[in-house]
Amino acid sequence: RIFRLSRYPVVSYELAVSDGDIQKVREQLIVAAAQRPIDIAIQPEGLERRAKRMVVMDVDSTLIENEVINLLADEAGVGEEVAAITAAAMRGDIDFEASLRRRVALLKGLDEEALERARSRITVTPGARTFIRTLKRMGMKTAIVSAGFTRFANRLAADLGIDYSLSNTLELVDGRLTGDIAGELVDGPRKASFLK
């Protein structure tokens, strides 16, 4: 059976296959995906898959094409320093919390106008709006969980019609960033608690 899930700006279909060698089907679909500009997800059919009713997504370089911390770093003139800390974290030289706090500290002094300029440069990933609309039409709840920042994630959630949003809060005093994160840091355990 074939079901069309969306048609604009991306076309998506669900194909329910009930016979054949699953390994051969998987191999051929992987080849097809490599040869054409398409994405394919293969899932076993069953009650467990049909019972899923929530989709949780990351934000940076997923729902949007940008990394918000990099947009903010550009506004603060500290792009290279932030990139170096990010690279060190990716290599495992610095843990997640320390790298995030060090990068946020470099943003100290940015004002509301700079934050708004960074927000205006965010590009939603092509097809994201259709993806969210399709999920909603299927009765799914949607959430974004991000180590990014509430000022950006919450507006994105409102704009796209996403049900829930969790992210870090940049501390502002007198309209300027202090270089700190307000409240509890969004890390693995916090994400798990939010999901529950």
Instruction: Indicate the pairing of strand 141-149 with strand 164-173.
Output: parallel
> Which of 58, 74, 163, 187 is labelled catalytic?
58
Structure tokens at 61: 């370089």
Torsion angle, alpha carbons of 86, 92, 98, 104, to 10: 10
Sign of CA pseudo-dihedral 107, 110, 114, 115: positive
> What is the Cα–Cα distance from 91 to 163, expressed in whole angstroms?
34
CB 171 within 8 A of CB 178: yes
Give the DSSP H or E segment for 159.
helix 150-160
Active site residue 187: no
Count CA atoms closer than 13 A to 152's CA, side-chain side: 31
Q: Are 60 and 146 in contact (CB under 8 A)?
A: yes
**Residue 60 bears catalytic tag:** yes
Q: Which of 19, 21, 39, 60 is catalytic?
A: 60
Residues marked as catalytic: 58, 60
